[in-house]
Amino acid sequence: MPANTTASSGSTGTAGGGPHKKKKGRRARLIVLVLVLALVAGVGYGTYWSVSTVRASYPQTNGTVHLDGLDGSVEVKRDSYGIPQIYADSDADLFRAQGFVQAQDRFWEMDVRRHMTAGRLSEMFGSGQVETDSFLRTLGWRKVAQEEYDTVLSDETKKNLQSYADGVNAYLEGRDGKDISVEYAALGFTNDYKPTEWTPVDSVAWLKAMAWDLRGNMQDEIDRSLMTSRLDAKQIQDLYPAYPYDKHEPIVGEGAISPATGKFDPEAAPSDGTGSSTAQGATEGLTSQLGALSDTLDEIPALLGPNGTGIGSNSWVVSGKYTTTGKPLLANDPHLAPQLPSLWYQMGLHCRAVSATCKYDTAGYTFSGMPGVIIGHNQDIAWGFTNLGADVTDLFLEKVSGDGYLYDGKVKPFVTREETIKVAGGKSRHITVRETNNGPLVSDRSGELEKVGQKAPVSNAAPDRADGYGVALKWTALEPGHSMDAVFELNRAKDFTTFRKAAEHFEVPSQNLIYADTKGHIGYQAPGKIPVRRSGDGTLPSPGWSSSYGWKKDPVPFDELPYEYDPERGYIVTANQAVIDEDTYPHLLTKDWGYGSRSQRINDLIKSKTKGGGKISTEDMQKMQMDNTSEIAALLVPELMKINISDKNIREAQKLLEGWDYTQEADSAAAAYFNAVWRNILKLAFGDKLPKEMRVEGECLNVPPAKSSGPVDEQNRLVRECGQRDPDSAQPDGGDRWYQVVANLMEKPDSDWWKAPANRKDKATENREELFARAMEDARWELTAKLGKDITTWSWGRLHQLTLKNQTLGTEGPGLLQRALNRGPWNLGGGEAAVNATGWNAAGGYEVVWVPSMRMVVNVGDWDKSRWINLTGASGHAFSAHYTDQTDKWVNGELLDWSFGTNAVAGATKDTLTLKP
């Protein structure tokens, strides 16, 4: 029986979601009309679409809907931003309603996500997605998710997942695609695709996508290997400097694994000589043919965002002894690619009375397509996430033959499976997935990758390369785990003990978890399934043919992972910096931390505010989230101002930096010029010396020949090379690793890095000062071309813009359809490695490529004084008033009131939908 959308009890019951102000109503109607025109003219099929057709997918937000399977009535209360708070009397009803409501607002997004995680995008979008589907089928996300559901997850978790799926399906029943979202109507012009029922495994699989987005150092592992074609070991080490513990504090400042208990103890004193080995072994590099794998990786995160140094988050918690409220304050803002709709969906899940049969009273940020709350608070505790960055992926070179792969002198057979990829409008494709004991052979998914390892510099002990080595991927997320259990356990946690128990199950992706409770305690836990390597440090691909490499059976024990509870300093900051000093901690978590620019700035802001007995307020936490200060500007500008510039036009630009306070406001001309100078410093000193596989696609240079390169111009000893990488992931990206690279070289003014390549006669430089002067000149004329000759009109925001794009038809659809689905641009402040981390890739340009995807400040214990904001809005419907109604406030650093208690929610409610059995 389809969900009954007929209103009762005198309610309006309109699908439009209740009354709105006239201005908003007019705006919504205009958007609908534009969308109609786009669908007619842009898609080009000449079909007339009425406004009522486009409005068919509006969710009902008032009145009554009857749903099969409910035990009792459920109320869905939405505020003026469309954010729902759900009230029920059983867990089953609560999660069934969550599924129904999220499907109302976001089912297109949910459907695309599940097709991505299952490697089935071709079923929706045709042959252009076959390569992506092939790679994802090879990884086997959906297969692992099914194994988790069948064999690992608790019965209670499975019941909640099934209830959620039942709610989604109750919404879908009796609805055609065009009644669910206008994108289905547009897709219908070229495809007869129809949405199918939601399953619990669809929800579990989404955690694999998030784990992929936050997978750690895999790209660094590839890049270091690519560099071997042009750079020697010392040069590569220069570009991957050690973490600066002396100036950027790790998360956990004290503690060690206790010899008496074998567990991590925050109060134990570390012993000498416990640091992990960093020996790598003699094998290791792959040639630039690994660039083919890098190209494949660029395609996979297309729906998630670029993987790089900016993907991370800020979170911090301050004890009540340093706050104006006398209770802890907790802030969090995860950094992810900008998406429309936002990755996050704000929601409250409330049992009217918490009991053994109804256990939840929680609110925060959820993923549409997955039950529970991911980041937020319940009535007792609050929690936040940042990416720990643990090294949980390794690439292995495999000696492959027709019969299998070599391991300890014997050929072992592959584990194989056949996969069929259905293609909309075309014939199905068939692939064979081959797996070694180190994971699936990702090299099977690319013609170029068949040659991976042909010229890899390996030791004399390596087997004959013949036609080359294959490449296998070992990754913790390809093993069944308990992360879905952890979500519900976090939602129910009452204290630090139950919080840590939940964290123990949060295996993938490995996250820094911060904590605060109503009794005044604060804490931190590093969770995750983190591998223990037999040898090597995971920074370069390893030989798969030897049992001397690979992973040990068991990961780092949870009891030995770092944590803190009520540290004496009174606050905890996590922003992707090192968790703990590796010289005092025996386990290798990673060699590729974020370098701590954001975390140290937050630490410094807290210290300055609390110095002399000062207190931090909710507003102070909010202001910290918008801090735009550039660490690299503070280092470089004094040096740039010392350079004698004779050209009056360049001198005019240089003067913009006089007296600049290094803050990157959107209207700042100084920030625009400095960031252009920084981009050009990186290009001149490093970018032009990197292999083509790491440079921006289409940018061509005459360069000295790489090792084992092709034909060479004997007269000039140069070859023509064009970059091959997507601009969002090219190098040097300008993140805080590059801050540290440059900082280390500042005391070496005559370093070879400051010397432009001999082929760049137009940019010949012999030392740091000459290179800086040339970068200032290049920046002046670059901005003249982009912003005009008159520097009084320059601003950082005009360069540094955010455009929100619908992640499917908004990027690949007809032009008018894209304009109807997409929004922006917005001029932004902030920048790379600033606390307000509006990231950009210096190799690719100034466009914003990752952002604080949401922001929250939790007022622990006085929950109704907490504040939050989303990047876009609650709705995934392009014509809804709630499509991007939070974005302007997000841009300005504003936060919305976050109601939690029954009375506060009632006071904020604008629409009420009652779900009845």
Residue 758 CA to residue 217 CA, distance in Å, equals: 32
Residues in contact with 833: Cβ distance below 8 Å, sequence separation at least 6, in sequence order:
309, 310, 595, 597, 598, 630, 631, 632, 735, 736, 739
How large a percentage of the chain has pLDDT more than 70?
85
What's the pLDDT tens digit per position in 145-192?
A: 999 999 999 999 999 999 999 999 999 999 998 899 988 888 877 788
For residues 403-412, average pLDDT? 94
**Given pLDDT bands bounded at 50, 70 and 90, which one contains residue 466?**
low
- The pTM of the full predicted model, rounded to 2 decimals, is 0.92
Give the tens place of pLDDT for each residue, 624-650: 999 999 999 999 999 999 999 999 999
The predicted structure's pLDDT at residue 657: 98
CB 484 within 8 A of CB 505: no
Strand order of the β-sheet with 84-88 is: 63-66, 911-916, 74-78, 84-88, 344-351, 361-367, 375-378, 381-387, 511-517, 522-525, 563-565
Q: Residue 20 — very low, low, confident or very high, per pLDDT cuts 50/70/90? A: very low
Q: Give the Cα separation of 870 and 887 in Å (integer).
A: 7
pLDDT at 83: 98
Residue type, 522: I
| Tens-place pLDDT, residues 654-684 | 999 999 999 999 999 999 999 999 999 999 9
Burial 383-394 (b: 16+ CB within 10 A, else e): bbbbbbbbbbbb
- pLDDT of 17 > 50? The answer is no
Neighbours of 751 (CB within 10 A): 16
Rounded Cα distance, 37 and 43, in Å: 10
Grouping H, G, I as helix, E, B as strand and the rest as coil, residue 597 is helix
**pLDDT confidence of 269, banded at 50, 70, 90?**
confident
| Residues β-bridged to residue 858 | 330
Averaged pLDDT for residues 51-57: 66
Please give the pLDDT value at position 383: 98
- In this predicted structure, what is the pLDDT of residue 295? 63
Do 360 and 351 form a contact (C-beta atoms < 8 A)? yes
Q: Are 690 and 227 in contact (CB under 8 A)?
A: yes
Mean of per-residue pLDDT scores for the chain = 87
Provide the 10 A C-beta neighbour count for residue 760: 16
Please, which pLDDT band fits residue 236 given cuts at 50, 70 and 90?
very high
Instruction: Compute φ and ψ for 492, nearest 5 degrees.
Output: -100, -5
pLDDT, tens digit, 9 for 90 and up, residues 61-118:
999 999 999 999 999 999 999 999 999 999 999 999 999 999 999 999 999 999 999 9
SS3 per residue for 844-867? CCCCEEEEECEEEEEECCCHHHCE
Say which residue, 649 or 702, is predicted with more confidence: 649
Centre a 10 Å sphere on the Cβ of residue 305 and count the other Cβ atoms it contains. Answer: 24
Element (H, E) at 24: helix 22-37
Taking only the tens place, the pLDDT of each residue in 561-590 is: 999 999 999 999 999 999 999 999 999 999
